[in-house]
Every structure is written in structure tokens, then in C-alpha cells.
Amino acid sequence: MASYTLNAEPPVGFEKRQFDNLQLIEVLNLSIVSIAFSNNILPKFKKLVLSKLNINIPNVGGSNFSDTKGIRLIALQQDQIFAVYEKKSNNPINEIKSILGDEFYYSDQSDSWSITNISGDNTINALERICPLNLAIDSFKVNDAHRTSMEHISVIILRINKNEFLLFSPRSTSNSFFHTLINSAEYIS
């Protein structure tokens, strides 16, 4: 019988790219768990999040970060929230269940997304070439999160600081999306 080992590989494998006042980092250490719930369970979910994470659930199009647990909740639709946090194990569903209980529907999305951190003074210049959203700080505030399309690729964009975003693209399109980011970064450099 053949003996072999499977090794995990990052979606793109670029680690870090530096441009003129712009940096791209492939984020590899985050777990993503989708939490879904019905409207009749929503009040209980709100109470649990407040008592266990010390934050309110975000409004759709927003996110809140729990300093006590290191978990960011991202609300992209009425009855579903992403919990994003630093990877602790290979079983993120059990990690979230241990905090919030098992009354909700959980799905591990960690391997479904490629995450890129884009930051620096030229971030907005690079993104405005490919992103149809108004990214002005008064329109797209820190902690805002939206689904959009960049160069025909579905993307979740989350602003974590004035000139810093997390970009979530489906893993299946991660190389194409990275190519789009590189082209935009090179164009403005």
C-alpha cells in the first residue's frame, strides 16, 4: 500500500506583496463559521451574543468585534451571520457551539473563502478601479461589510480601518481575484 501525506496549501500562496503605499497580505489564520437562525430564535440569539461576546449583533451591512473572545460577527443578510476569528483548531463549528450553544445552524466556511488584507495610503485608489461601491469613509464606515462584485468576481468587502480592508473571495476564483488586485495595485503604483 502506498504511503503518502496530504499537505494543505493556501488558496493563492503569495503571502505578502508590497507596492507604492499599498500592501496585500494573504490571510491564512482565520476561521469562518456561518450561523443561521429563524426569526423566532433571533431574540435569543441577540441575548446570547450580548452575554457571551459582549457585543450586539450587527445590522445587515455591518460587523462588530468582540474584544473578549476575539470574534468578529459580520451580518450580510437578515438571518445569517459570519463569525470570523483566529483559527484555533480544525473544528471551528464546535468552537462556536461551545460559546453560543447548538440551537442554531452552523456551517464551516473556512475553506470556501480566500481572504486578502489590503492596506496603505493607496488602498482606496486601488479599490476604486475595481469596486463599484462608494468607499469614501463617510459612506462606507469602519466595520461596514457588503457583498459586491469586482471584475465579475463575487467579493465580500469589510472595512477594518480607514485604509484597511479584508476582501473575501470564493476560493475557486482566488487566483483570478488576486490577479485583479495585482493589476490594480500596479496601475496606481
Domain ranges of the chain: 16-28+111-188, 30-110
Say whether pTM exceeds 0.75.
yes
The CATH H-level (homologous superfamily) assignment of domain 30-110 is Heterotetrameric sarcosine oxidase (3.30.70.1520)
**DSSP string spanning 79-97?**
TEEEEEEE--SS-HHHHHH
Share of the chain above pLDDT 70, in %: 98
pLDDT band at 14 (very low <50, low <70, confident <90, very high): confident
Distances (CA, A) of 166 to 58, 141, 145: 17, 13, 9
- pLDDT, tens digit (0-9, with 9 covering 90-100), for 66-120: 999 999 999 999 899 999 999 999 999 999 999 999 999 999 999 999 999 999 9
Instruction: Give yes or no for a contact between 140 and 122, defined as CB atoms under 8 angstroms apart.
Output: no
pLDDT band at 2 (very low <50, low <70, confident <90, very high): confident
Q: Give me the CATH code for the 16-28+111-188 domain, please.
A: 3.30.1360.120
pLDDT band at 5 (very low <50, low <70, confident <90, very high): confident
